[in-house]
Structure formats: C-alpha cells, structure tokens
Amino acid sequence: MLEGKVAVVTGAGRGLGRAYASALAATGASVVVNDVDGEIAKDTVESITAAGGKAVAEIGAVGSAESADALVGRAVSEFGRLDVMCTNAGVLRDRTLRNTTDEDFEAVLHTHVWGTFTCGRAAVNRFREQGDGGRLILVGSPAGQRASFGQTAYSAAKSAIVGLTRTWAVECAKLGVTVNAVIPTALTRMVATVPGLGEVVEAVEAGEPVPDQLRRDGLGTPDDVAPVIVYLASDAASGITGQCVGAGGDRISLWSHPTEVASVVREGGWTPDSVAGMFPSTLESRLQDYTSTVRGAPK
C-alpha cells in the first residue's frame, strides 16, 4: 500500500507513535523514527527491521526549526525523499487553570504546537521542492474538540492543531498536499491518569484484552488507531483533506467543522438592552453543551 513512500513519525518510541511507525513500515514505507528517548527509538527501529521493514532513528526533541529540518534531512539522506510527516510527539500536564504554571503551559505548547508547526513547515518545503505532493498527518485529541477538565494546556495545544489542519489544508491544496488530523482515543500511559482508566491501562499492558464495551465506546489499543494513519498516508486518500478523523477501539468517526448554529439580525445594530431582550427568547435555546467530555481524552 505504501511501497516506495518515506515517512517521518515524531514521538514514535512508544505508544501511539510506535504503532503508527510500525504500521507504516509494515505496509511498505521507509520510516524515520523520532523520539527524545534514544533507547526506545532504537527499540522501535529494531522491532520494525526485525519484521522486515525499513527504519532509522533520529533522536531529539521536536519544537525547534533545527530539529524539524534534521528530521526531513534524515529522511532524504537515508531514503531519498519525504512523502509523509506524522506529528505525533507530545507531552501532558494534568493541571486545571489555577494550577497550571507558566512552565507547564510552555512545555505542552512547545512540543505540540511548535513541534507541529516546525515539522509541518519543513515537510511542506520539501514537498514543494519534490513537486509531487505529500501527506501531513497531525495528531489531535478529543481534548481539543470539546471540554476536558484538568487539561488547560493540552486542550489549548490540541485545539491549535485542529486550526492548523484546516488552514494548511487550504494553503497546501495547490501543491497536492493533503492535511488531516487524527483524533485518537487509546489506552496508553497518557490516559492512565484519567479517573477510572488507570487499572484498565495496567491490565491491557499486562496482556489482557480491552473490554468489549470500551472498544465499542471507542477505546482500544494504539494498534487500533494505526490503520487510519496508513490510509491517510496512502494514495487512496488523495481526495481527503482538512478533516479530523477519530479512531479508537472498534470505532472510526468524523468530527464536524465549527459552524454558526443560530443568528439574529437587527437593523441598525445592537445595544446592551436589545441584546438582553433578545437573548433569552431567541438564542438561549440554542446554547451549546459545554460540559461534554469523553473518557480518555488525552491521546
């Protein structure tokens, strides 16, 4: 399916990133495995090559332009080109607003937002040079789609990634580059801190199957998400761009784009009194539920 393609996957040492890199390699792609932890990156590479795939490790934290350029450069020097950039690397700080420090916020946004931005830019520059399109696959989260209590920094970062997905899809269309976000829900170390899921993560890591009901609800293993990554990286998905595709357990979903749900026009404009008079009778019934959450929101 991906024979001759070359992919970079950031944060690919364990969890979802490892599953993505392994699945891409299993379907024919050559993969640059990135992680800040050199040992686990090399372990992922060894696992891929032992299975007959092609992969190399590129160690380093994402976020800087230099790091992004090094990833793209490694793909080109090792395999001759770049076809897919999957920006999976991320960190998590479980903090509510009042407990989120400047350092927490900066760490999360630097990895997720700056890492996505710099890697995306470096990849698109290479795609433009090659002249035959490419694939940007960004990684979002339900936390960036709706409320996720205790995830001030993470929600901000993942919401920003969704914005980048839609804007880049428009900007890159003329290049033949598709840009999509995957919204994964999987039982990884990142969700072990979510109330009620710690024991489930521990059981699954010990080899027990994911309960059927959780799978139907959209929670499974990283391997359940990987097929969507492979599909979006393939030529079969050349007409799909600007989308947020949810994946987890037995479910695949498509998230909607934000749109106005109601509007009111008043000739001559509005005053505070006219807004106060209109809102309860006209717009109040259309208010959106701000309490919606999803179990296991962090990726």
In 3D, which of 37, 46, 36, 39 has the Cα closest to residue 21? 46
88, burial (CB in 10 Å: exposed 0-12, middle 13-18, buried 19+): buried
Alpha-carbon distance of 143 to 44, in angstroms, equals 27
Residue pair 92/108 in contact (Cβ under 8 Å)? The answer is yes
Sequence-separated (6 or more) residues with CB below 8 Å from residue 163: none
Q: Indicate which residue of 20, 154, 231, 290 is catalytic.
A: 154
146, 193 Cβ separation under 8 angstroms = no
* CA 226 to chain CA centroid, nearest Å: 12
Q: How far apart are CA 36 and CA 19, in angstroms?
A: 17
Strand partners, 151: 95
Count of alpha carbons within 13 angstroms of residue 30, beta-carbon side: 16
Residue 219 in tokens: 């929670």
Q: Checking DSSP bridges between strand 251-255 and strand 134-139, what pairing results, if any?
A: unpaired
**Distance (Å, whole) CA 296 – CA 142:** 8
| DSSP letter, residue 114 | I
Residue 141 near residue 183, CB atoms below 8 Å: yes
Q: Is 231 in the active site?
A: no
Instruction: Tell me the catalytic residues.
Output: 154
